[in-house]
Amino acid sequence: MSKKQIFNPYLPSYEYIPDGEPHIFDGRVYLYGSHDRFGGDDYCLNDYVCWSAPVDDLSDWRYEGVIYRKSQHPYRIGRNILFAPDVAKGKDGKYYLYYSMADSSIISVAVCDTPAGQFVYYGDVHRADGYVLGSAEGDYFQFDPGIFVDDDGKIFLFSGFCPQAETDKQGRIYAGCHMYELEEDMLTVKRGPELIIDRNTPCPPEQRYFEAPSLRKLNGTYYLVYSVRIGGLHYYISDRPDGGFVYGGRLHSSSDVGMRGHTAETPAYPNGNTHGSLIEIGGKFYIFDHRLTNRSSYCRQGVAEQILMDGDGRFYQAEATSCGLNDGPLKGIGCYPAYIACALMDKNVYESAEEKRRLAPCITQDGGDRECGPDQYVTGIRNKCVVGYKYFCFQECIQVRLTVRGEADGVFRVRTEEEGADAALIFVKLTGSDWRVVTGEFPVRGEKCGFYLEYEGTGCLDLQQIEFV
């Protein structure tokens, strides 16, 4: 039986799971992450849920349900929000979920007998004398736990937040990325903290550690994935898990920062924070990350790409695509939802950042947060706005149909490259709020083609669907 096509975001469009940490347990890839709320006014407002897919079919994601609720945490701190988690299997065969409540500077742990069952609170990471890490002034600030169990059974916990300030209000230190070795109980510190990436290490600003440490071992080498402030996921590399790390490069940016001339100030897609990790599945390597939607940092969705390694164990940066986990370009025939856009660019000049946030195109949905319902769409398409998709294999289509709505009079210039000649023109004249179909001839042929729409004209419109026929 052939697999269905898969694209980014790889989960349903109503699902907002950023900070993705993929792990393989018993022949399935389990995806753990934060859980944003569409329309929310803060990060991670929903409870933890889990999705999984068989290792031999990354198009077949299954909802596993809620695995841990913020109401299960035994005491309230600050906003009472569950920040980015990670999961590991202990020597006892149980599964341990590491998380940090917002404003706490404490790493807490929940436990379950299965990878995606009902986790229950287990305790806070502490020293042998019972002292909870991050409790007092002078401690390293605990944030974004990354848990790693090595082949020899040693257990390492990575953590650390590094904003501009050097301490939080309680005097806990933003030192960089730090590490602890844990006992077999997965909770008690055996040694540490040890500073792995010092915030004062000289480096270019675009490489500076910010948050989101995640350690992975691939082909005997250790890769410490982390996030910079804005500009994607980067990594350090070492031959051991507890030190000796040297900078490796940028792994991925959902805004393509670092590719084709894009910078944090001129991204190919709305830019913001990032968090994710590497995984090997079926002999191939993948990077899991997230993108922003709804003109907000609080509505993030998981994206994933295959990523290539060179002969020296270093990774080439993976570009942001629409085809993602599909193992190749999407078929250039049939219908596709507009929300799988991997490029949203606005060439207009705005008087302020606030005006740009209010007017720039974005991906959004009608209605509130939900667990089913209509798909997202692209909104706010004005003159000089570009919506882009990568990649398609065009072999037989002769026409393209766009489902649009709004008040607009103009033309879509269709290109197969971000900066290239027009391949087709699709004229638009709209009045009203109903979805309508506009068409244009499309003679393009190619094994791997982009599909870029740049609107030229008056008014503003939304894009719901693209059909190649």
Phi, psi of 242 (to 5 degrees): -115, 25
SS3 state at 337 = strand
List Cβ neighbours of 142 (8 Å cut-off, separation of 6 or more): 100, 104, 105, 106, 107, 125, 133, 134, 159, 160
* H or E element that contains 462: strand 446-468
Degrees, nearest 5: CA angle 40-321-393 = 135
Active-site entry in 19, 86, 242, 454: 19
Contact 252, 276 (CB under 8 A): yes
Active-site annotation holds for 396: no
CB atoms within 10 A of CB 148: 20
Q: Which helix (H) or strand (E) segment is 238 a member of?
A: strand 233-238
The structure tokens listed for 330 are 């999407």
CA nearest 241: which of 150, 324, 153?
150
Residue 317 C-beta-side C-alpha neighbours within 13 Å: 17
Does the annotation mark 19 as catalytic? yes
Q: Please say whether the beta carbons of 72 and 51 come within 8 A.
A: no
For strands 155-159 and 146-149, give the pairing: antiparallel
Judge whether 97 and 111 are in contact, CB under 8 Å: yes
From the list 36, 139, 144, 211, the catalytic residue is 211
> Is 57 buried (19+), middle (13-18) or exposed (0-12) by CB count in 10 A?
middle
Residues carrying an active site annotation: 19, 211
